[in-house]
Amino acid sequence: MIKRVPYNFNAQKNLDILSKAAFLTTKSGNKINTMVIGWGTIGILWRLPVFNTVVRQNRFTYEQIEKSHEFTVTIPYVNLPQTVAVCGTKSGRNMDKLAACGLKTVKGQKIATPVLDVPGMHFECKVMYGRLMGAENLNKALDELWYNKEPDDYHMFYFGEIIDSYITE
Ligand SMILES: Cc1cc2nc3c(=O)[nH]c(=O)nc-3n(C[C@H](O)[C@H](O)[C@H](O)COP(=O)(O)O)c2cc1C
């Protein structure tokens, strides 16, 4: 059973969980993959509800979104330390992370990408704008802190229109 809620429902709780670990799920062709995200924003752009996520270009997730132009986000309302450990370190390029973690998915309500079958809040998003960040407009301290080790691996900013949002138990 899903309970449809507005995009900003439980915002404080969701951002708190996101700052520790949430899941960004993608589907391209038959390949479904999920990775852990800890950064993102939920807000308004072009008068539309938006989930903004940042994905480094070396992630398999980046390749998936470049093909599908959509993604879902699951904010888990249960603790999944093992799943976070695997999905936040291993790449779906070489393995089926969902099978490895025993994760099931549920068909998306409005888009082709599914959501994780995990109790929590889910966002279905269609990419409205993507922009690769670069050093030129970035605060030097942040550049040093986050991009020093891999200077060519800046984040891709994806702004996804939130097409649907709901809670599952
Ligand atoms: C707590 C946590 C937060 C993370 N947040 C992000 C993030 O916001 N953006 C990102 O590109 N990678 C982030 N990662 C790293 C990816 O989850 C990790 O590189 C993953 O293995 C990529 O999987 P993929 O290659 O299947 O896409 C995070 C990892 C952890 C453990």
Domain extents in the chain: 2-168
Label residue 142 left, alpha or beta by phi (over 0 means left) and psi (-120 to 50 means alpha).
alpha
Enter the CATH code of domain 2-168: 2.30.110.10
Over the stretch 91-115, which tens digit does the pLDDT of each residue have?
A: 999 999 999 999 999 999 999 999 9
- For the record, the structure tokens of 105 come out as 């998915």
CB 105 within 8 A of CB 114: yes
How far away, in angstroms, is 136 Cα from ligand 1 center?
24
Binding site membership of 91 for ligand 1 (Cβ less than 6 Å): yes
Ligand 1, atom 8, residue with closest C-alpha: 37
- How much distance in Å is there from the Cα of 89 to the middle of ligand 1? 7
Q: Is 21 in the pocket of ligand 1 (CB under 6 A)?
A: yes
The reported pLDDT for the residue numbered 151 is 64
CA of 81 to the centre of ligand 1 (A): 14
Q: Report yes or no: 33 and 64 within 8 Å, Cβ to Cβ.
A: yes
Percentage of the chain beyond pLDDT 70 is: 99
pLDDT in tens, 27-61: 999 999 999 999 999 999 999 999 999 999 999 99
**Is any atom of ligand 1 closer than 6 Å to the C-beta of 158?**
no
21 CA distance to ligand 1 centroid (A)? 9
Q: Angle at the Cα of 75 (from 74 to 77), degrees rounded to 5? A: 120
- Mean local confidence (pLDDT), 137-161: 90
**92 within ligand 1 shell (Cβ under 6 A):** yes
Beta strands in 19-154 (DSSP E): 22-28, 31-37, 40-45, 48-56, 70-76, 105-106, 115-116, 120-132
At 8, list the tokens. 């900003």
Contact between residue 86 and residue 97 where contact means Cβ atoms under 8 Å apart: yes
Q: What residues contact 77, with CB distance under 8 A and at least 6 apart? A: 17, 119, 120, 121, 167
25 Cβ contact partners less than 8 Å away, ≥ 6 residues apart: 32, 33, 34, 71, 72, 73, 74, 105, 113, 114, 115, 116
